[in-house]
């Protein structure tokens, strides 16, 4: 199949450079007429010239995207119609949330949201009439995850994250509204090199991150013969493409009576966030709310956590609290000891709730104004109660209309109250929360924002945008003790009564949502932040992203739209390889891997040929095909302490040996431990003359991808990466990826080489391939070491260390050691590594990867000398055994953590 766009007219906004230019050239090269929109007329003209020179047809349009009519008119005037609209124009106004100005917020909303609305709105009637239309909206990893990859060195994108996530909601509703008219809308989160990234990316990667690697996919989404991708979200870059969808936990159902309290929610919180039985909803109707409410009614009273969740002395601001959900929250907080600020535009409504609370002996004050007047509301809290600890942004309105007939005023009103109102309130409490290093925020989304809904394009966009905003707040607030979550509640309120039947309005009481909000904003919630919860009638569940493993096209040439169609299944199949990314770093890693010949992370462990090498002998090729089933590793603080002690941490170093210390943490080399149950399971008996007593640890590489949790469940996957025939010996390298069990987030990558004496002679490769940072070849600088640390190991060091998971008898049993050729048991290689890495950590601070070669044996009781040389971001080191003046660790180095990683490690 060849995908031609002859007869199509494509409008590309922001097409003077970057992605927009790449789209324009690609469409034109396949026969489409192109309107190259850019406010920079010169840049747009250059693109048009290039197209025309190549024999294509294109015209310039320099209107602002907010003047969608003018943009689309250029298409109609020049080519008679428009069939495809690529909403690509965008700007950045990055700023930490505290310092973000309203102007910076509004400018982003204006271009991304109002711009996409205006252009799509102008094209829509034409699409409907001709019964064909394609819309591509441009989101970003920043929108999906609330942050841009730290690779780009970027923090401070609350405005951009909100707008980009808003466009995902926008697309989902457009897809529903257009279905009947063959109008399909998809949304992409592309990663491509730009002026901004040029300074920090290696040249090879820059080439592969070019917009040319994004454009073919966009073409494939727009072609009439391509697979249907309407309403779908894709992440892509450097030739790697994956689909992203929502995944929801089964959640917990609570008895809907007086025992449904924040304490009851606390008691069963682990059930709410348990993804053991996930579902993949696609629409607001994909939940049996009535069934759940019925089930809730039949339950016995809810068990309560002790001590009770309370809010004594805390002040809560609730917007839109004059009725409905806001009122229910207010009554609950007041009952549990909080001072409550009741914000509402209705004076009567606010006064009524204040009265109700005061009469019941509680404390409340009214703030009668729009939610957009965040400062005024906060001023009331400060004046009446002297502070603020919790913000519930709840105010909202509906202006439902089909997209075709929605007016700009209806669009603007909903975006203003929901999105800008939420922003303004969060902005007003932020400096207070930052200063007091405490704050809780619950923002209000809706299932309509998550899944899209017919007739609510304004509402779904605003609500989705609130998800993006909240995720950024969670990220930026973390170091200040600020926790922010977003809820999608369904309850019978004045607002829903306009769209729900009365019996549902009566049944789904706002009181059945409030306790979850209470728990989320309590002191008791110290972990859950940046998450989305769907709540209705006693049921609460968490909703998160799930992403396919996707497909990475090879980089020898740019892939084509036809290639995309051929690989559609790989791109869009959700299976056991799918992940639950929570940050854009994971996207970056994926892209980085797919575009780098030396990185091995994120390999497809299920692909038996993942490490196939034409130079391998048959026996090696077969061994590499072995796929070990994933193995779990569960641990607690106790395991961390045991490990830390095993590598010489002392009772004086409480951050490593006392779980109550405020900086309690695992030493970074703990990262080699969780893989043990998995990597040691890989069969080695295919090697000739294999004798486990002759096995020595040869090399180790550890990369730490994410902060090490203090406890948890991790899942390991292991494969043989390389098998070298060293003649007399075999050098076998395994690769293990260790992920967080619930989020799927990559935490560690290990590459371990074992040297098995007497097991060579099986043929094939003798020298290893370049494994990038994992390769061992560090020349020692020709100067004296910059730092030296000495530490005597204990006679019992190996006996203690082995309890962390390496039970090899070589380290404890004299007879076994004798078979291995040693007079007495030897120290674990990884124990020596852990001790010396601790020296590096104490001298130079945290690092994000480490590699060593075990060059000589260390015996327990001997003294380790770590010599260090700082070379830029690397610390090269060598370990000697003092008593025998022998090198034990050679070719050793760490890469120091940059500032961003440091904050996270
Ligand atoms: C979690 C994942 C699983 C991990 C399981 C680990 C289980 C643990 O319980 C086991 C341990 O902890 S053992 C203790 C730690 N290790 C040691 O003490 C080994 C110390 N090293 C040695 O004795 C020698 O270097 C020795 C014996 C390794 C090599 O010495 P020689 O035989 O003299 O080799 P040499 O002549 O110098 O070189 C031959 C070829 O081999 C390559 N090579 C050398 N040292 C290597 C090493 N450490 N790792 C990998 N390759 C190594 C050389 O480059 C050379 O290659 P070529 O011939 O192609 O040039």
Report how far residue 246's alpha carbon sits from residue 571's, in angstroms, rounded to the nearest whole number. Answer: 16
Reference 786, options 848, 890, 877; nearest CA is: 877
Report how far residue 13's alpha carbon sits from residue 38's, in angstroms, rounded to the nearest whole number. Answer: 6
Rounded distance from Cα 892 to ligand 1 centre (Å): 14
Find the residues whose C-beta lies inside 6 A of ligand 1.
Answer: 675-676, 679, 696-699, 726, 729, 731, 752-755, 766-767, 806, 808, 810, 826, 828-829, 853-857
Q: Where are the beta strands (DSSP E) in 270-393?
A: 315-318, 339-344, 363-368, 390-393
Which residue out of 678, 684, 696 has the highest number of ligand 1 atoms within 8 Å of its CB and is therefore the one to mutate?
696
Reference 355, options 381, 334, 382; nearest CA is: 334
- Contact predicate 872/894, CB 8 Å: no
- Contact predicate 151/200, CB 8 Å: yes
- Name the pLDDT band for 594 (thresholds 50, 70, 90): low
DSSP character string of 488-555 = EEE---TTGGGTS-HHHHHHS-GGGTHHHHHHHTSTT--S--S-EEEEETTEEEEEEEEE---EE--S
Q: Ligand 1, closest atom to CA 831?
A: 12
At a CB cut-off of 8 Å and minimum separation 6, what does 894 contact? 837, 840, 844, 847, 848, 849, 850, 874, 875, 877
Residue 671 carries which DSSP code? G
CA triple 345-350-356, angle to 5 deg: 165
Residue 862 carries which DSSP code? P
pLDDT at 782: 92
- List the residue whose alpha carbon is closest to atom 42 of ligand 1: 726
Comparing 638 with 607, the larger pLDDT belongs to 638
DSSP helix/strand/coil, 593: helix
Peptide bond into 307 cis (omega under 30): yes
- Name the pLDDT band for 500 (thresholds 50, 70, 90): confident
Q: What is the pLDDT of residues 410-468, one digit of tens each?
A: 999 999 999 999 999 999 999 999 999 999 999 999 999 999 999 999 999 999 999 99
Q: 249 in the Ramachandran plot: left (φ > 0), alpha (ψ -120 to 50) or beta?
A: beta
Task: Please determine whether the domains at 9-244+549-595 and 618-761+774-904 fall in the same fold group of CATH.
Answer: no
DSSP character string of 398-450 = ---B-GGG--HHHHHHHIIIIIIHHHHHHHHHHHHHHHHT-EEEEEE--HHHH
Residue 905 clears pLDDT 60, i.e. is over it: no
User: What stretch of H or E contains 808?
Assistant: none
Could you confirm whether domain 618-761+774-904 is CATH 3.40.720.10?
A: no
DSSP helix/strand/coil, 848: strand
- List the residue whose alpha carbon is closest to atom 57 of ligand 1: 726
Which residue out of 698, 733, 807, 808 has the highest number of ligand 1 atoms within 8 Å of its CB and is therefore the one to mutate?
698
Q: Is ipTM > 0.90 here?
A: yes
Q: Which is the catalytic residue, given 21, 121, 164, 880?
A: 164
164 is catalytic: yes
**Can you read off the two tokens belonging to residue 882?**
């003092």
**Can you read off the two tokens belonging to residue 711?**
């406890």
| Count of C-beta atoms within a 10 Å radius of residue 291 | 12
Residue 199 clears pLDDT 70, i.e. is over it: no
Residue 317 clears pLDDT 60, i.e. is over it: yes
Q: What is the pLDDT of residues 254-288, one digit of tens each?
A: 999 999 999 999 999 999 999 999 999 999 888 88
Distance from the Cα of residue 691 to its chain's centroid:
44
Which residue out of 723, 824, 829, 858 has the highest number of ligand 1 atoms within 8 Å of its CB and is therefore the one to mutate?
829
401 is catalytic: no
Report how far residue 421's alpha carbon sits from residue 476's, in angstroms, rounded to the nearest whole number. Answer: 19
At a CB cut-off of 8 Å and minimum separation 6, what does 91 contact? 107, 108, 111, 112
Average pLDDT, integer, range 129-157 = 77
Report how far residue 633's alpha carbon sits from residue 378's, in angstroms, rounded to the nearest whole number. Answer: 47
Residue 360 carries which DSSP code? T
Place of tokens 């106790």: 638
Q: Ligand 1, closest atom to CA 672?
A: 1
Q: What is the pLDDT of residues 719-736, one digit of tens each?
A: 999 999 999 999 999 999
DSSP helix/strand/coil, 14: coil
Rounded distance from Cα 822 to ligand 1 centre (Å): 15
| Count of C-beta atoms within a 10 Å radius of residue 198 | 11
Q: What is the pLDDT of residues 806-838, one digit of tens each?
A: 999 999 999 999 988 999 999 999 999 999 999
459 is catalytic: yes
Average pLDDT of the residues of the chain: 91
pLDDT at 194: 59
* For the chain, domain boundaries: 9-244+549-595, 618-761+774-904
At a CB cut-off of 8 Å and minimum separation 6, what does 21 contact? 15, 36, 47, 211
- Contact predicate 474/527, CB 8 Å: no
At a CB cut-off of 8 Å and minimum separation 6, what does 729 contact? 755, 756, 757, 758, 759, 760
Reference 853, options 808, 825, 884, 893; nearest CA is: 893
Strands 847-854 and 252-253: unpaired
Rounded distance from Cα 698 to ligand 1 centre (Å): 4
Q: Which of 3.90.1150.10, 3.40.640.10, 3.65.10.10, 3.40.50.720 is the CATH number of 9-244+549-595?
A: 3.40.50.720
| Count of C-beta atoms within a 10 Å radius of residue 53 | 8
> Following CA atoms 357, 361, 363, 365 in sequence, which dihedral angle do they give, to the nearest 10 degrees?
40
């Amino acid at each position: 199949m060849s995908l031609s766009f002859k007869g199509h007219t494509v409008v590309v906004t922001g097409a003077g450079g970057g992605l927009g230019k790449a789209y324009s050239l690609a469409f034109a090269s396949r026969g489409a007429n192109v309107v190259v929109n850019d406010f920079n007329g010169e840049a747009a003209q250059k693109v048009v010239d290039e197209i025309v020179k190549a024999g294509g047809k294109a015209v310039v349009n320099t209107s602002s995207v907010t003047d969608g009519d003018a943009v689309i008119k250029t298409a109609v005037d020049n080519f008679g119609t428009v069939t495809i609209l690529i909403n690509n124009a965008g700007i950045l106004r990055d700023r930490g949330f505290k310092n973000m100005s309203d102007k910076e917020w509004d400018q982003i909303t204006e271009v991304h949201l109002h711009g996409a609305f205006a252009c799509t709105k102008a094209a829509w009637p034409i699409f409907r009439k001709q019964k064909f239309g394609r819309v591509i909206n441009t989101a970003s990893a920043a929108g999906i995850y609330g942050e841009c990859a730290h690779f780009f060195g970027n923090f401070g994108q609350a405005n951009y994250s909100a707008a980009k996530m808003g466009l995902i909601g926008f697309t989902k509703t457009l897809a529903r509204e257009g279905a009947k008219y063959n109008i399909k809308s998809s949304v992409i989160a592309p990663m491509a090199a730009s002026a901004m990234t040029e300074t920090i990316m290696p040249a090879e990667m820059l080439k592969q991150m070019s917009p040319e690697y994004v454009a073919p996919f966009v073409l494939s989404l727009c072609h009439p013969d391509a697979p249907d991708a309407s309403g779908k979200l894709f992440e892509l870059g450097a030739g790697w493409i994956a689909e992203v969808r929502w995944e929801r936990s089964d959640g917990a159902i609570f008895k809907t009576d007086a025992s449904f309290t924040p304490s009851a929610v606390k008691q069963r919180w682990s059930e709410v966030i348990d993804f053991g039985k996930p579902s993949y909803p696609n629409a607001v109707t994909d939940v049996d709310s009535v069934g759940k409410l019925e089930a809730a009614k039949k339950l016995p009273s809810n068990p309560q956590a002790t001590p009770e969740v309370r809010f004594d002395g805390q002040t809560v601001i609730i917007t839109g609290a004059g009725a409905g959900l806001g009122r229910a929250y207010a009554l609950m907080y007041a009952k549990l000891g909080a001072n409550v600020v009741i914000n509402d535009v209705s004076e009567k409504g606010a006064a009524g709730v204040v009265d109700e609370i005061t009469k019941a002996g509680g404390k409340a004050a009214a703030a009668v104004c729009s939610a957009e007047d965040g400062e005024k509301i906060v001023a009331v809290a400060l004046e009446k109660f002297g502070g603020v600890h919790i913000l519930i942004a709840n105010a909202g309105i509906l202006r439902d209309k089909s997209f075709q007939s929605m007016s700009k005023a209806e669009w603007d009103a909903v975006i203003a109250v929901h999105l800008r109102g939420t922003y303004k309130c969060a902005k007003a409490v932020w400096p207070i929360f930052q200063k007091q290093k405490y704050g809780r925020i619950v923002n209000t989304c809706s299932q309509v924002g998550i899944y899209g809904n017919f007739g609510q394009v304004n509402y779904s966009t605003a609500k989705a945008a609130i998800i993006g905003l909240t995720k950024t707040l969670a990220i930026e607030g973390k170091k200040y003790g600020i926790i922010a979550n977003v809820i999608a509640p369904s309850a019978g309120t004045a607002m829903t009564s306009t769209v729900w039947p009365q019996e549902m309005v009566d049944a789904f009481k706002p009181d059945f949502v409030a306790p979850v909000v209470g728990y989320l904003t309590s002191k008791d919630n110290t972990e859950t932040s940046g998450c989305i919860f769907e709540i209705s009638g006693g049921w609460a569940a968490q909703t998160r992203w799930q992403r396919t493993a996707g497909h990475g096209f090879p980089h020898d040439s740019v892939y084509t739209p036809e290639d995309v169609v051929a690989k559609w299944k790989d791109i869009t199949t959700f299976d056991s390889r799918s992940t639950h990314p929570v940050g854009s770093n994971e996207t970056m890693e994926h892209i980085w891997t797919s575009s780098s010949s030396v990185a091995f992370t994120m390999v497809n462990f299920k692909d038996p040929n993942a490490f196939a090498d034409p130079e391998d002998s048959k026996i090696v090729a077969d061994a590499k095909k072995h796929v070990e089933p994933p193995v779990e590793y569960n641990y607690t603080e106790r395991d961390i302490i045991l490990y830390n002690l095993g590598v010489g941490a002392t009772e004086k170093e409480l951050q490593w040996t006392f779980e109550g210390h405020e900086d309690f943490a695992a030493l970074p080399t703990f990262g080699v431990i969780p893989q043990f149950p998995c990597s040691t399971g890989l069969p080695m008996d295919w090697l000739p003359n294999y004798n486990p007593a002759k096995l020595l640890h040869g090399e180790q590489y550890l990369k730490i991808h994410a902060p090490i949790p203090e406890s948890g469940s991790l899942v390991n996957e292991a494969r043989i990466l390389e098998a070298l025939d060293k003649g007399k010996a075999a050098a076998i390298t395994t690769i293990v990826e260790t992920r967080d069990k619930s989020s799927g987030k990559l935490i560690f990558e290990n590459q371990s080489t074992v040297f098995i004496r007497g097991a060579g002679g099986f043929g094939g490769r003798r020298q290893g391939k370049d494994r990038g940072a994992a390769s061992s070849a560090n020349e020692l600088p020709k100067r004296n070491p910059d730092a030296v640390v000495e530490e005597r190991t204990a006679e019992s060091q190996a006996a203690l260390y082995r309890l962390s998971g390496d039970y090899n008898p070589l380290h404890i049993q004299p007879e076994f050691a004798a078979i291995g050729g040693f007079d007495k048991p030897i120290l674990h290689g990884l124990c020596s590594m852990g001790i010396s890495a601790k020296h590096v950590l104490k001298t130079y601070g945290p690092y994000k990867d480490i590699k060593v070669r075990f060059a000589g044996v260390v015996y327990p009781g001997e003294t380790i000398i770590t010599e260090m040389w700082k070379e830029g971001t690397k610390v090269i080191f060598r370990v000697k055994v003092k008593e025998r003046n022998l090198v034990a660790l050679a070719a050793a180095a760490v890469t120091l953590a940059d500032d961003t990683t440091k904050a996270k490690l």
